[in-house]
Amino acid sequence: MLVGLASFLEGAEPAAAPAPSPWSVVVLMFHLQLGSVWASACPSGCLCTSDLLSCTDLDQVPVMLPVSTVTLDLNHNHIVRLEEESFKGLPRLEILRLAYNQVTTIQSGAFRKSSGSLLRHLDLSSNQLTVLEQHYFQDLPGLQELLLFNNRIVRVENGALNDLRNLHKVYLSHNLLTDFPFVSIQKHSHPHLSMLDLSSNRLPKLPLEEISNLPQSVQKGLYLHNNSLVCDCSMYSMFRFWEQKDFASVRFFRKEHGCQVYKMQRRIRFFLYNRFFEKCNLSGLKEQESNVSVRAGAPLLLHCITSLSGTTTTFFWLAPNSEYVVPPGNNGSLKMFPNGSLEIVAAREEDSGIYLCMAQDQDRNETREVNVSVLQHEGEAHEHFNTGFTTLLGCVVSLLLVLMYLYLTPCRCPACPKHRTPTTAALGRGMAAGPGSAQSSILTPTPPTTTEGPGRKVSTNKHVVFLEPIREQQNGRLRVGPGLLLGAEPQQRAGETDSYVSVFSDTPIMLP
């Protein structure tokens, strides 16, 4: 076997390719297996599968990690620091779990040389972080979910989330935050952000202008319950507006929204007990509609709703007459404020039209159109008067006609001779239509004067006013009166007449 291997290695027979010996195959398989073991080396104290690595009882991140790891579970360990390049050599890493450790510091570049563009879920909850510094997450552009709840965070630096442009959800509840840089999560910087959980912190006051400039998708998912808010009308107006818009943050945690009453050592749940805000003007914070109307002579405030904010943002309006308006306004008819709002002091007919708001900063600009309609006093009031007057007049006339029909009909004479009238005779051709039939009740203006069948008397003080709809169509077909049921027995027709009267009459007729 050795001779064959030597001849194979030396190439003793170049003319014909010799078949590999079994020994060479064994050596080759050994090297391949050894390389596979080295590539997928599982650290001590860890459980490794094809793409999952789970470790326990560690005080630092293992140095050598399998390159095939997709999910790295380091929960419930004793890790205090994340050193530089702690997760290098993991090009396929997508989920990193570091909850329930003692992490206090994240070194710059801790996630460098890892799959920063693929890592989408990072769980750092239940640790001991105190400040979110700007460099913590700078190497994770693909991160979508960031879990930081149940730490000791007192401050979030202004640019801590700037590099996370693909961020969808951030959980920062159960920390010690007293403020948050809302200005750093505008639409142009985080277009996919739909949830920001800041509940159960220590926020005393909210920057309402920055929050109102957040995209609608962020406001819907902004959770602020169980904070140390101080009660004021502006704060209450914002939450009431969110309640009207049926935001999930209010709908699911309505009972957990509370605030501290000024100069009182008590906390109230303002959605349940709102008597402290009865004198608040709730029109201060509202969404600007694209079409608004105002009465002539009344003031109107137009808001420039935009995602741009900051000291470098400038605003100006373009009026319907192609006139540019900048703070503080012009002509005394238009006033403009530094926050971009435009006030029409006293609306006139010529103020109707489309107003174009423009906001711009160093890199971006946004526009918004508002269509304003000015309504005139006189015409509108005259139209309302005419409509109301004609409606009232119609009701009075209808009531008078009904009363005349009910109480001004001719009196019936009990001594009148009982003879068949021409109408009764005409109806009697080919049928035994008695005076009490439904057709005679409908066609004659007064109730019948004779008895309805032998021994039956019609009540003289019952008026079948609403019996007329019997002749209307039912299910698309004209309803046939009981007197037209040819071939039916007299007793059967009389029973059917009673049923029709009792069902369709507004005033039931009592028959003895």
Q: Which domain holds residue 296?
A: 291-378
In a domain, 488, yes or no: yes
Distances 417 to 85, 304, 433, 449, 450 between C-alpha atoms, Å: 119, 87, 19, 11, 11
Among the candidates 340, 360, 378, a domain finishes at 378
At residue 308, φ and ψ (nearest 5 deg) are -80, 140
In a domain, 166, yes or no: no
In a domain, 171, yes or no: no
**What is the distance between the alpha carbons of residues 251 and 245, in angstroms, rounded to a whole number?**
10
Q: What is the mean pLDDT of residues 436-445?
A: 39
Q: What is the pLDDT at residue 289? A: 66
In a domain, 308, yes or no: yes
CATH number reported for the structural domain that contains residue 298 in this entry: 2.60.40.10
Q: What is the pLDDT at residue 504? A: 39
Q: What is the mean pLDDT of residues 484-489?
A: 39
In a domain, 335, yes or no: yes
In terms of pLDDT, which residue wins out, 32 or 202?
Answer: 202
pLDDT tens for 360-410 read 877 777 787 888 888 885 444 444 445 666 778 888 888 888 888 877 766
Give SS3 for 6.
Answer: helix
In a domain, 316, yes or no: yes
Identity at 190, one-letter amino acid code: H
Among left, alpha and beta (phi > 0; psi -120 to 50; other), residue 475 is left
pLDDT tens for 101-154 read 999 999 999 999 888 899 999 999 999 999 999 999 989 999 999 999 999 999
In a domain, 261, yes or no: no
- State whether 297 and 374 are in the same domain: yes
In a domain, 397, yes or no: no
Among the candidates 335, 357, 378, a domain finishes at 378
- Please, what is the average pLDDT of the chain? 74
Lowest mean pLDDT among 51-60, 297-306, 350-359, 491-500: 491-500
**DSSP labels for 395-431?**
HHHHHHHHHHHHHSSPPPPTTS-----HHHHHHTTTS
Distances 179 to 198, 316, 352 between C-alpha atoms, Å: 10, 30, 42
pLDDT at 343 over 50: yes
Q: What is the pLDDT at residue 350? A: 84
| Chain centre distance of CA 351 | 34
Q: What is the pLDDT at residue 144? A: 95
The token duo for 358 is 């423009």
Q: What percent of the chain is predicted at pLDDT more than 70?
A: 65
Number of domains the chain contains:
2
Q: Is the dihedral of CA 374, 377, 382, 388 positive or negative?
A: positive
Among the candidates 336, 354, 378, a domain finishes at 378
Q: What is the mean pLDDT of residues 204-215?
A: 86
